[in-house]
Amino acid sequence: LPQHTCTWLQGIMTLYKYQGFWNVQNFSQKTILAQSYKAQPSDILVCSCPKTGTTWLKALTFAIVTRKKFDELASPLLTTLPHDCVPFLENHLEKIQKNHSDFPIIATHLPYSSLPESVITSGCKIVYIYRNIKDVLVSYYHFVRELVNLPLEDASFEAAFDEYCQGISSSGPYWDHILEFWKASQEMPERFLFLKYEDLKKEPTSNVKRLAEFLGYPFSTEEEKAGVVENIIQLCSFGNLSTLEVNKSGKYQADEHFALEHRLFFRKAKDGDWENYFTNEMKEKIDKLIDEKLHGTGLVLK
């Protein structure tokens, strides 16, 4: 596979290009294994590029779908990592296949073109979250840096920026990841819901209701009156999830060889943090790049 050793990470990490997208070495193997997944029509798939709000969307989707079983005071989200409530297909295939009914919702960072055939043919629902590329980049920079234990002063943001703009990032190029899902959604609009991180933040109530409706779990008038929507938003909020003991001190076991501190999935959750990192020149360069990539698609990533 074509490979690239990340200079901004002092060479600690190497990414490999597989089926048009960059990722860590064992991801190609995981992608191949994931092809045996037998998706059911009732499955819900949460899809995203890393750092776009995956953890948040997992929690919201899980809370919506399981709300009749557990109210917000007894939700498994209070004591279980969102990544264990909604496992990643590529990381936990065996567990999902063995106990499929326990996992009505699964997540994936796989690009659309690498999804198992059964996902396409089953008719299952797909929710895709995306976010302003500049904030994704800053989030990615910190996440990966901390993952490999590289101190801030040793990780050049400028070099990270350059690699990201070349499309070299885990699950990148970011724009190709989004565009593949976007194009598929144009052909099968009834199967896809696109959510933008910034919209979810700005207007959580209407977007959570939209999500619930799309998933086939709409809120009843009684539920709305009883404040169920707001309770779910509060349960899944950054302020709540990031301060729960399980999320602060828990470890996410990504596979049998690799575990990471779950707290890394919670940083600032702030819109526009990129302004603290980008020079004017960087801003212009990435805006131009994204304009070129998304021209005519109707998507906005700025």
**Which are the catalytic amino acids?**
109
Neighbours of 90 (CB within 10 A): 24
Q: Which residues contact 178 (CB under 8 A, 6 or more apart)?
A: 49, 128, 130, 299, 301
220 neighbors 229 (Cβ within 8 angstroms): no
How many Å apart are CA 215 and CA 192, to the nearest integer? Answer: 10
Q: Could you say which of 145, 265, 278, 282 contacts ligand A3P (CB under 6 A)?
A: 265
How many Å apart are CA 83 and CA 195, to the nearest integer? Answer: 19
Of 15 and 241, which has the nearer Cβ to ligand A3P?
Answer: 241
Of 55 and 91, which has the nearer Cβ to ligand A3P?
Answer: 55
Number of chain residues interacting with ligand A3P (CB under 6 A): 21
Task: Tell me the C-alpha to C-alpha distance, in Å, between residue 224 and each of 16, 70, 72, 229, 231.
Answer: 47, 17, 14, 6, 10
How many Å apart are CA 253 and CA 84, to the nearest integer? Answer: 9
Among the listed ranges 6-14, 19-27, 265-273, 277-285, the one in contact with ligand A3P (CB under 6 A) is 265-273
DSSP-derived letter for residue 263 is G
Of 122 and 250, which has the nearer Cβ to ligand A3P?
Answer: 250
Sole residue written with tokens 């131009």 = 288
3-state secondary structure of 174: helix
Among the listed ranges 65-73, 165-173, 223-231, 268-276, the one in contact with ligand A3P (CB under 6 A) is 268-276
3-class SS letters over 12-35? CCEEEEECCEEECCCHHHHHHHHC
Closest approach of ligand A3P to the CB of residue 283, in Å = 17
Among the listed ranges 8-16, 179-187, 188-196, 262-270, the one in contact with ligand A3P (CB under 6 A) is 262-270
Angle CA(68)–CA(123)–CA(190) in degrees, nearest 5?
80
Q: Does 263 engage in binding with ligand A3P (CB under 6 A)?
A: no
Site residues for ligand A3P, 79-138, by CB under 6 A, read 135
Closest approach of ligand A3P to the CB of residue 62, in Å = 12
Q: Does 269 engage in binding with ligand A3P (CB under 6 A)?
A: yes
Q: Could you say which of 236, 244, 282, 290 contacts ligand A3P (CB under 6 A)?
A: 236
Neighbours of 107 (CB within 10 A): 27
Q: Could you say which of 37, 56, 62, 214 contacts ligand A3P (CB under 6 A)?
A: 56
Among the listed ranges 49-57, 99-107, 227-235, 252-260, the one in contact with ligand A3P (CB under 6 A) is 49-57
Where do contacts with ligand A3P occur on this chain (CB under 6 A)?
A: 48, 50-56, 135, 139, 142, 236-238, 241, 265-269, 273
